Amino acid sequence: MKKTAFNTVSQKTLAFSLAFTLAACPLASAGHVLAAPAAASADSVVAAQTHDQARVAYGIDARLDEKNMRIQGSETVTYRNTSKDTLRKIVFHTFADANRSKATQTSMFEQNNEEIQKENPQKKPEDFLGGIYIRSAAADGQSLVFSNSNQALTVELKQELKPGEAVTVEIGFEVKIPFGMQRLSYYKDIINGAHWFPVMSVYDENKHEWDNKPYSKTFETDYYDSSDFEVRINVPEDYQVLMPGTITTQADPKEPGRKVVTAVADNTREHVFFASPNYKVESVTRDGLTIEYYYFDNMPDKKKLVDEYIDTAFKAIQFFSEKYGKYPYPEFRIAESYVEGVAVEFARVIQMGQIRPNSDPAHDTTFVHEIAHQWFHALIGNDSEKESFLDEGFADFSMVYFAEKQGDELNGFKSIQIDDWSYLDKPIASNNTEAGGEANPVFYKKGRQAIYQLYRMVGEDKFDAFMKEYFKRYAHKNATISGLLHTIQDTLGEEARKEMDKALHDPQFALKPEYRLSEAEEAAYWREQFKTSYRSSLSQIPNLPAETMSRIMDKALQGEPLTIVMSDQAGSKAKKQQQTILTQLEGTLGIMGIPYEVISDRQTLKKKLEKELGTSNIIAIGSAKINGLIQALKPGIMQKSKAIGFDWKSRMNQTASSGAYVVKHPYNQNRLLLHFFWNGDALSDNAVEPFAEQMLKALNFSTDFYQYYVLNKTGQVATDKKIANPIAKFFGEE
Ligand SMILES: [Zn+2]
C-alpha cells in the first residue's frame, strides 16, 4: 500500500514540503510539524509448492445482490496440514467483520468517509458498516460446530487432522457491503471486493497456534498462504468484473440478465474483485504477458493516459523480473477506483485512485510501488502485522531502484540519500502496533534506506544476486526477517548480515554518512525538487491567473531575478519587525536555493529603479507610505490591482490592517510584484508571528493560490481572494 499526496506530487514532495515548513518556520517544533499531515513475518516449511500441492484450495460461488449490496456465498476449502501438529480445529479470517463497527474499521479511510458522508447526507452511519454472517459449516455432508468472533471463524473438526492429511470444509456465508471507501465497500458505480470471504489463517507450528488477529486499525494485516482459487461470481450482465487469474464469462442459464464470471488463479496470495457497470477495459499483450487496465472513460484522452500507464507497468514488471525473479503469471490487472490519497496492492492486481488530466504515468512512483508489491507481498509473502518492513521497505526501495535506472533524478537514489529519519526512535523491525502512526517513516523510509545501505555496501551485482536467491527461497512462501538475514549471510557473508541486522533492529538507525549526499548535492537536489513541485502544482489549473503569490517562487526557481525591497523610512519598531519577516523569507529562499537581492536604502533603490528593477520580480515589505518602490510605482500598482479585484487605495487606508497582494509589475508584463504590507507605523506585537506564517503559507506550492489577503489586528485572515489548489487538502492544517 502507499499513501500518496497526488499523482504527480509524490510522497517525497510531501516530505520536503514538511522540510520546508519545518525549516522555514522555526516557531514550530519538529515533532509537531511532522505529525501534522495525517495526510504512505516464520520460515515456511512447505516443500516447493506446485499446482496440486498448494496447502489451501478454494472453490467459491457467490451472487452479488447489487440492489441491497449483499453477497450470498458458499465456499469449499481444502486445507492440507503441512505442520507436524495434529489439528482439531481450523481457523479462518473474517476481516469483513472489521466493518461491523467504526471502532474496528481501518482509520486509513476515515477522512475519505467523512467527505463521502457530506456528499451523501441521506446515508446513515450504519450504511458505512457491514460484516460477514456465517450461515453454515460442514464436512462430508455433516455440519460442524463453528464460532465467528473478533474477525476469526473457528471450525471444530469431527476428526483430527494428522500431519500430511487434508480436510475439505464447506462454508455458507452472507456479506453486507459497507458504503464508503473501505477495502470492502461500494461507492458511486464501483464495488471494491477485498476480504469478502472467509480466508484460511496461517498456522504457526512453532507456537502451535493459528493466526487469529483482527485486521489492523492503522495498517495492514495481510498474511496468507499462497493458494489455488476458483471463484465464480454471479453479477448483472452489464457488469465488468476484475479478478486475478484467467477470467471466463457465461450467461446465467437460470436468470436472464445475469452472468457468471469465473476466475481461476493458482498459487496466488489472495483473491479480490472490483466490479462496475461502467468499467472499460484496455488490454495489451507483449511477450506472453497481458496487462489490463479497468478504467472509467470519463475524461477526454483518458485512453492515452491508460496506455501510458500500461507501458510503465510493462517496464516495471520487466525490470523487477530481471533483477529479482520472473513474474510468473500470464496477466496483471489494474483497477481504477475512487480511493484518494492511497493505493493498494493485491496479488496479480493493484487498486489505484482516479487518473487525472495531469497524471504523469512515466513518473508515477506510487504506481511502481504497487507493482513492486507483486514481488514483495504477492510472491514473497510475509506477516504484515508483525514485519511490515518486508513488503513495504522492499516495495519502496524497488520503486526507487526502478526510477534510478530510468534516469529519473528526483525519484532515484538521491531521494533515499537525502532522507534523514535518525530522530525517529523506532526500529525498522517493528510490528504495526509499535510503529503506530509512523508506519510510513519506519517501514518505508527507514526500511528502504537500510536496503540501500546494503546495496551500496556490496555493490549492484552482488546485491542483485542476493535478491535472486531471496526470491528463489521465498517466492510463493512467507519470508521472515530472520530468513532474510539468513539469505544475506549465505550470499553476502557475515559482515553484511551483521550490518543489516543492526540496521533493522537499532532504533536510531541512520544511513551511513558516506552514502549520504554532500551539502552541495543536497542543495541542488532540493532546488530541483522545489522547481518541479511548483511547476506541477501551478499547472494543475488551466488558465490560472498570472497573479498568484506562489508563482513568484516558481518564476524565481525558473531563473528569473528576484529583488526584495524594504520600507526604508520605518521607525525603529517597524524596522525590527521588517527584519524578522525578512529573516523568515530569506530562510525559505535559502532552502530552495533561490538567489535574490535585498534593497533597504533609498539611494540604491533610485539607482536600480530605472533598469534592474524593471526586469526583476519584486517582493516589497512594509508600509506603503514609506516604501520608496511602492510610492514610485503607485499609479501603476493601483491600475494593476484592478485585475485581481483589490481596491488598493481604500485597502491602504484601512487602519490597523495588514496583508498581501500580488500584481503584474507596472513596468513589465512578464514580472510580478508582491507586496506584504501593513498600514500605520508598525504591526501590533502579537501580529508579527501570524503575519510571517501567513506569508510563508501564501508562498507555498501546496496551499491555495492567493491573489490577496487582508489580516485583522491580531493577524488572522479577515478576507482573501484565492483559487483552490487541488492538492491543498492533502497537506492539511496543523
Ligand atoms: Zn506498499
- Give me the half-sphere count of Cα atoms (radius 13 Å) on the Cβ side of residue 218: 14
Is 60 exceeded by the pLDDT of residue 11?
no
Is 80 exceeded by the pLDDT of residue 171?
yes
Task: Compute, in angstroms, the gap from residue 441 CA to the centroid of ligand 1.
Answer: 12
Query: Which grid coordinates are listed for 362?
Result: 512515466
Task: Compute, in angstroms, the gap from residue 343 CA to the centroid of ligand 1.
Answer: 8
Torsion of CA 46, 491, 387, 398, to 10 degrees: -110
Is 80 exceeded by the pLDDT of residue 32?
no
So what's the pLDDT on residue 53? 58
pLDDT class of 14 with cuts at 50, 70, 90: very low
Q: What is the pLDDT of residues 305-340, one digit of tens each?
A: 999 999 999 999 999 999 999 999 999 999 999 998
φ, ψ of residue 452 to 5 degrees: the values are: -65, -40
Is 70 exceeded by the pLDDT of residue 26?
no
Task: Compute, in angstroms, the gap from residue 377 CA to the centroid of ligand 1.
Answer: 9
Task: Compute, in angstroms, the gap from residue 642 CA to the centroid of ligand 1.
Answer: 49
CA distances to 6, 585, 628, 689 from 676, rounded to whole Å, are 30, 11, 14, 14
Task: Compute, in angstroms, the gap from residue 565 CA to the centroid of ligand 1.
Answer: 47
Q: What is the pLDDT of residues 278-295, one digit of tens each?
A: 999 999 999 999 999 999
Q: Judging by beta carbons within 10 Å of its beta carbon (0-12, 13-18, 19+), is residue 712 exposed, middle or buried?
A: middle
Task: Provide the angle, in degrees to the nearest 10, between the axes of the packed helices 389-405 and 447-458.
Answer: 60
183, 195 contact by CB (below 8 A): yes
Q: What is the pLDDT of residues 471-496, one digit of tens each?
A: 999 999 999 999 999 999 999 999 99
Task: Compute, in angstroms, the gap from residue 370 CA to the centroid of ligand 1.
Answer: 6
So what's the pLDDT on residue 476? 97
Q: Judging by beta carbons within 10 Å of its beta carbon (0-12, 13-18, 19+), is residue 32 exposed, middle or buried?
A: exposed
70, 127 contact by CB (below 8 A): no
Instruction: Give the strands of the sheet with 273-276, arranged side by side.
Output: 184-187, 190-193, 273-276, 240-242
DSSP 19-30: HHHHHH-TTS-H
Task: Compute, in angstroms, the gap from residue 674 CA to the centroid of ligand 1.
Answer: 42
Torsion of CA 653, 658, 662, 663, to 10 degrees: 10
Task: Provide the angle, in degrees to the nearest 10, between the axes of the packed helices 572-592 and 11-24.
Answer: 150
**Mean pLDDT on 184-199:** 98
Residues 436, 442, 444, 445: is their CA dihedral positive or negative?
positive
400, 448 contact by CB (below 8 A): yes
Task: Compute, in angstroms, the gap from residue 558 CA to the centroid of ligand 1.
Answer: 34
Per 3-state DSSP, the chain is made up of helix, strand and coil in percentages (nearest 5) of 35, 25, 35
Q: What is the pLDDT of residues 532-563, one digit of tens each?
A: 999 989 988 889 999 999 999 999 999 999 99
CA distances to 294, 497, 621 from 280, rounded to whole Å, are 6, 48, 54
Q: Judging by beta carbons within 10 Å of its beta carbon (0-12, 13-18, 19+), is residue 619 exposed, middle or buried?
A: buried
Of 445, 458, 440, 393, whose CA–CA distance to 417 is shortest?
445
Distance in angstroms between the alpha carbons of the first and the last residue of the chain: 25
So what's the pLDDT on residue 570? 87
Query: Which grid coordinates are listed for 530?
Result: 522545489
Helices (runs of H) and strands (runs of E) counted in the chain: 21, 31
CA distances to 394, 697, 703 from 583, rounded to whole Å, are 41, 15, 21
DSSP 515-566: GSPPHHHHHHHHHHHHHHHHHHHHTTSTT--S--HHHHHHHHHTT--EEEEE
So what's the pLDDT on residue 19? 41
Task: Compute, in angstroms, the gap from residue 423 CA to the centroid of ligand 1.
Answer: 23
Task: Compute, in angstroms, the gap from residue 2 CA to the centroid of ligand 1.
Answer: 5
Q: Which residues touch 590 (CB under 8 Å, ≥6 apart)?
A: none
Q: What is the pLDDT of residues 358-400, one digit of tens each?
A: 899 999 999 999 999 999 999 999 999 999 999 999 999 999 9
Task: Compute, in angstroms, the gap from residue 351 CA to the centroid of ligand 1.
Answer: 11
Task: Compute, in angstroms, the gap from residue 366 CA to the centroid of ligand 1.
Answer: 8
Task: Provide the angle, in degrees to the nearest 10, between the axes of the packed helices 365-372 and 11-24.
Answer: 120
442, 504 contact by CB (below 8 A): no
CA distances to 578, 602, 629, 638 from 568, rounded to whole Å, are 10, 7, 10, 21
Compute how many other C-beta atoms are within 10 angstroms of the C-beta atom of residue 372: 28
Distance CA 202, CA 81 (A): 11
pLDDT class of 17 with cuts at 50, 70, 90: very low
Q: What is the pLDDT of residues 36-69, one digit of tens each?
A: 222 233 233 333 344 445 789 999 999 999 999 9
Distance CA 670, CA 611 (A): 15
Is 60 exceeded by the pLDDT of residue 16?
no
Of 154, 149, 115, 109, whose CA–CA distance to 129 is shortest?
109
Q: What percent of the chain has pLDDT over 90?
A: 86
If phi > 0 it is left, if psi is from -120 to 50 it is alpha, else beta; for residue 116 that is alpha
Torsion of CA 47, 52, 58, 62, to 10 degrees: 150
Q: Which residue has the cell 458505512?
A: 128
Task: Compute, in angstroms, the gap from residue 393 CA to the centroid of ligand 1.
Answer: 8
**Mean pLDDT on 258-287:** 98
So what's the pLDDT on residue 46? 34
Distance CA 677, CA 634 (A): 14
Task: Compute, in angstroms, the gap from residue 647 CA to the centroid of ligand 1.
Answer: 50
- Give me the half-sphere count of Cα atoms (radius 13 Å) on the Cβ side of residue 502: 12
